[in-house]
Amino acid sequence: MSVLAVVGAQWGDEGKGKITDWLAGDVGTVVRGQGGSNAGHTVVIDGESHKLHLLPSGILRSEVLAIAGAGMVIDPEQLLVELEQLGDSRGKLLISERAHVVMPYHRLLDGAEERAKEGGAAGTPGKGIGPAYGDRATRFGIRMGDLLEPQTLRERLERVVPRTQALLDYYGTGDRLELEQLYDLAASWGATLESSIGNASLAIAERLDRGVLLEGAQGVHIDIDHGIYPFVTSSSPTPAGMAQGAGIAPGLIERVVGVTKAYVTRVGTGPFPTELEDATGEHMRDVGGEFGTTTGRPRRCGWLDMVMLEHSQRLCGFSELAITKLDVLGGLDEIQVCTAYETPHGRLEHFPASMTLLAECTPIYETLAGWPALSPAEWQAAAAAGSLPAEVNDFITFLTSRLGVPAGLLSFGPDREATLRLR
Ligand code: GDP
Ligand code: IMO
Ligand code: MG
């Protein structure tokens, strides 16, 4: 019986998809417990790139059952596109009957509400995630299982459509919701996906002996409770949130892999203390291909921030780290790592809740030696021979000893093979 969780330790896009795919070779089941198509997970296998938004990355392994858990919000339109792209993988997917449905009006509301917030907008990709979780919390939501019950589906829509129409009118979007059209669309999703909808929690419990991997979406610092509110997502990308969303007892998680880039990126708005708006930031964006998987937006880039990671460690209890994108820093003379913040009110060692205070934080850096730019083949050879550049080892020692968490995996390229297991 073994459950492991793969968690994004920063602001998302740490390489969770790649690490999940790699570790999924050891398990029978991969579960996503939270988030929706706001996630974008890229997995590269033998040079071929797969971009997944809703489907758990484990679906790329033929022997794995992929499960979309109760805590997810699922846009069936997007799900069907992804299934189509993969060929008919539906036999390998189970969707919780309790997961909530992202309806077309959630996307409309997402756009309208972001526009209404002006300076306070989170910079969402407009996938309807916040409004879908909002309807879940106010009990106006529609669940995947409701798509299979015509009477329930109709009753739910009769309740939610007039309210949503009033909200859209309030925002002046000019959109008109047609209940019958929405009913037909939702019922057709139910008919298409019926054989894939079921009891996810039970299925996981029955498959524990073959190993279960919980695949995180988003990152700890955009957690609804513990992230940079209000620039956050609407779910909890922590092991606790993932267990809750999957429908398993949190105590079953034996291993928590915290995925962190060797630097930091952010899509979306909000204060970002170590952000680099200079040639080094450009280097990270260009060499790291830091453009959003979901939107193509350029990601904001900056130095690794230990204050952030210490906050993540407190919430997640990582048993090991997977450190990604080590290749991207190759060729820089020096590497900076932020270890505390200077503020007008004094030195700060802990990540603040106040966005006003975070915006006033200036990083205090320690400077480490950079390492040479290596080709993919050179990284591969160095990893195979156990002879990574000394500066890489020094960087990893600095990070892991400060955090008190060992490195379990190192990643030095997008491809599945560009991975080194240390433990
Ligand atoms: P996720 O959301 O955490 O799964 O991460 P994304 O897939 O959104 O973003 C990570 C990006 O970096 C993807 O394009 C990956 O293919 C790529 N990637 C992952 N690990 C590495 C690595 O070690 N080096 C490089 N150069 N790219 C990587
Ligand atoms: P993965 O799984 C990076 C960000 C959005 C926005 C905020 C709220 O690929 O790491 P939402 O649509 O969730 O209401 O948007 O959260 N965001 C992400 N940023 N990676 C993600 O997922 C993200 N999912 C949401 O950019 O700032
Ligand atoms: Mg991503």
21, 41, 75, 221: which one is catalytic?
41
3-state DSSP call for residue 212?
strand
Residue 43 near ligand 2, beta carbon < 6 Å? no
User: Cα(255)–Cα(267) distance, rounded to whole angstroms?
Assistant: 28
Locate the domains of the chain by residue range.
3-96+196-256, 100-194, 261-421
Average pLDDT score over residue span 77-91: 85
CATH number corresponding to 3-96+196-256: 3.40.440.10
Between CA 269 and CA 277, with CA 275 as vertex, the angle to 5 degrees is 100
Structure tokens at 279: 């040639």
Ligand 2 neighbourhood includes 37 CB (under 6 angstroms)? no
Token pair 């974008």 in the structure block, residue: 40
Other Cβ atoms closer than 10 A to 168:
18
Rounded-to-integer distance, Cα 100 and Cα 138, Å: 13
Q: Is the CB of 218 inside a 6 Å radius of any atom of ligand 2?
A: yes
pLDDT at 93: 95
222 vs 358: CA distance, rounded Å? 14
pLDDT tier at 294, thresholds 50, 70, 90: confident
pLDDT at 89 over 70: no
417 pLDDT tier (thresholds 50, 70, 90):
very high
Q: Return the ∠ at Cα 329 (arms to 323 and 334), rounded to 5°.
A: 115
Note the pLDDT tens digit of each residue in 5-48.
999 999 999 999 999 999 999 999 999 999 999 999 999 999 99
Ligand nearest to the CA of 284: 1
Q: Which of 13, 75, 146, 305 is catalytic?
A: 13
Tell me what pLDDT residue 1 has: 54
State the CATH architecture for 261-421.
Answer: Alpha-Beta Complex (3.90)
Q: Provide residues with CB under 6 Å of ligand 1.
A: 8, 12-18, 40-42, 44, 288-289, 293, 324-325, 327-328, 411-414
pLDDT band at 322 (very low <50, low <70, confident <90, very high): very high
Q: For residue 139, what are the contacts with CB-CB under 8 A and spacing of at least 6?
A: none
Measure the CA–CA gap between 125 and 39, rounded to whole angstroms: 9
Q: What is the CATH code for 100-194?
A: 1.10.300.10
> Which of 50, 124, 236 to mutate to test ligand 2, by most ligand atoms within 8 A of the CB atom?
124
User: 131 CB under 6 A from ligand 2?
Assistant: no
**Distance from the alpha carbon of residue 214 to the mean position of ligand 3, in angstroms:** 16
Q: Whose CA is nearest to atom 26 of ligand 2?
A: 268
pLDDT > 70? residue 394: yes
Q: Which of 414, 395, 378 is nearest to 337 (CA)?
A: 395
Ligand 2 atom with minimal separation from the 233 CA: 13
50 labelled catalytic: no
DSSP 3-state of 127: coil
226 is catalytic: no
Tell me the best of 14, 23, 42 to mutate to test the pocket of ligand 1, counting ligand atoms within 8 Å of each CB and taking the most.
42
Within this chain, domains 3-96+196-256 and 261-421 share the same CATH topology: no
